Amino acid sequence: MNRVFRLFAAMLLGILLLPSCSKSENSGKPLIVACEASTSPYCYFVGGEANPPVAGVDIDLIEEIAKELGRPVEYKIVPFQQIFTLVSSGKADIGAAGVTITEERAERFLFSTVYDVSSQVIVVPKGSSLTDEASLKTARVAAQEGTSDFTLLRERIRPKIVLPYLTQEEVNAALVDRKADAVVMDLMQAELLVKATGDAFRILEKPLSKDQYGFLFNKNDTELAAAANAVIDKYKMSGKVQESRTRHLEALGALPTGARTKDEVKPFIVCLEPSFAPFVFVDNNHLVGIDIELAEAIAAELKRPLQIKIVPFTEVLSLVMSGAVDMGASGISITPERSAQVLFSTPYESGLLRILVNEDSAFEKLEDLNGKVFGAKKGTTSADFAVNELQAKDVFHYDSATQGIRGLLSHEIDAFIDDEAEADLAVGKYIGRVRMLDSSVSVEEYGFAFHNDNAEAKAAADKIINAKRESGELQALFRRYNTQYKEMETNGI
């Protein structure tokens, strides 16, 4: 009997030791996390040389999980919908960014235990006549594509016009720019929006639903999910999730922070959209480009630390005008309409608008495209030109040049209009598939945008730009970053 007991005990001990053996096998192996950096306060981009390049409630938890497993973390910053693709394919271990747990998603993925709960709400301009869910039936309503917000909007609310956007910031910008009458979003993100825009908007009183947030795992990765759950449960029990949420809301300006000491210097906040090479793009999870180098020099001239805020291009000027940021970047074209709203620096670069078509198409000149379907990036002068100047049958608005080129290659559109720098990069990347028409359609000058009262920052920018132009450094920056981006694309980064 004792011998049987000892044998059973040995077997039980062996079973109990199995997880720790598996853990040691993975120790040191990178924990790859796919996340979207626009889901404040859960995951947002902090810029500069920060390591990790993102921060938020999710990131605090991920770092704790990695520490417990003895594994370094590698972050892949991607659009929200791509999180699911990477986790499903095994190219990422964890999906994060305030992912709502739903029955449909739970059929395809493993979810961690719930680490936070929030509400889905409706946000409208302060003076809006929209008062509840029913009143949205005749409105234009926006939400982030691929999210539970968007599912709720499309399947339950069913407004007159559904406006899908790639990121939450683009949803916010649609409301700020009055392209949408209302938006559906997470409560905490709504509170951040209301705070950032000086209470120009209000949150309707009745929430639409409750959301539970969890991390995403591949269906086969039960061991990692169990290890993550143990850390999450411990973190929740200690009250650290609430502490993390409060800290990040404070950092994002949604809650009052402590009084500033005399020695503290206000950061120089620059908002930009990170997919406009060679002006700004992401290489190995670091923001690089002409605009980044110039922004760093301008901040140094003002003797203020640089803080980067990543937003969709459509939100850049709105944030500048509201005073929420000090400077707007991302190769902003200087136009009379925009100059009436913001101060612009002296131009630091110029370029042309060019038209891309499929290599095998019969289009040779602009007139050949009369009555055809064009594509352009949302909120850009390219989109304005396509809508107002070209005799287009229709204009598709894309979130990025990459999406626009995909639309071209799939024949969703007949032509894509873009800045010459990006168009040239696309021709180099899609050799034999995409070509530029010989004629350009417009000349663009790029500058940095400032609030009308921020003459000091404009003066500093003008000083830096003029000095670097005279020294030849501006031209050298363009060549360097153009080459770097082409090499990055060639290597498949």
Domains of the chain and any CATH numbers: 32-114+214-251 (3.40.190.10), 116-212 (3.40.190.10), 268-348+446-490 (3.40.190.10), 350-444 (3.40.190.10)
Peptide bond just before 41 cis, omega within 30 deg: yes
**DSSP symbols for 23-34:** HHHHTTS-EEEE
pLDDT (0 to 100) of residue 4 = 39
Are the CB atoms for 114 and 136 separated by under 8 Å? no
DSSP 241: H
- Say how far apart CA 178 and CA 441 lie, in whole Å: 28
CB 299 within 8 A of CB 305: yes
| Overall pTM > 0.85 | no
CA atoms within 13 A on the CB side of 10: 6
- CB 442, CB 352: distance < 8 Å: yes
Burial label for 1, CB within 10 Å (0-12, 13-18, 19+), is exposed
Q: What backbone torsions phi and psi does residue 291 show, to the nearest 5 degrees?
A: -65, -35
Q: Considering only CA atoms, which of 298, 299, 296, 294 is closest in space to residue 265?
A: 299
Q: Can you point out the beta strands (E) in 340-411?
A: 343-344, 349-358, 373-377, 394-398
Question: What is the pLDDT at residue 335?
Answer: 86
Length of the chain: 493
Which stretches within 205-306 are classed as H helix? Answer: 222-237, 240-251, 290-301
- pLDDT in the model for residue 285: 67
pLDDT mean values, one per 10 residues, the chain (493 residues): 41 39 60 86 74 86 93 86 90 92 91 90 94 93 86 90 79 86 90 81 90 92 93 88 84 48 65 84 81 94 87 83 88 88 93 88 88 85 78 84 88 89 82 86 86 94 95 90 77 48
Burial group, residue 246, by CB count within 10 angstroms (0-12, 13-18, 19+): middle
pLDDT for residue 149: 87
The pLDDT value given to residue 27? 62
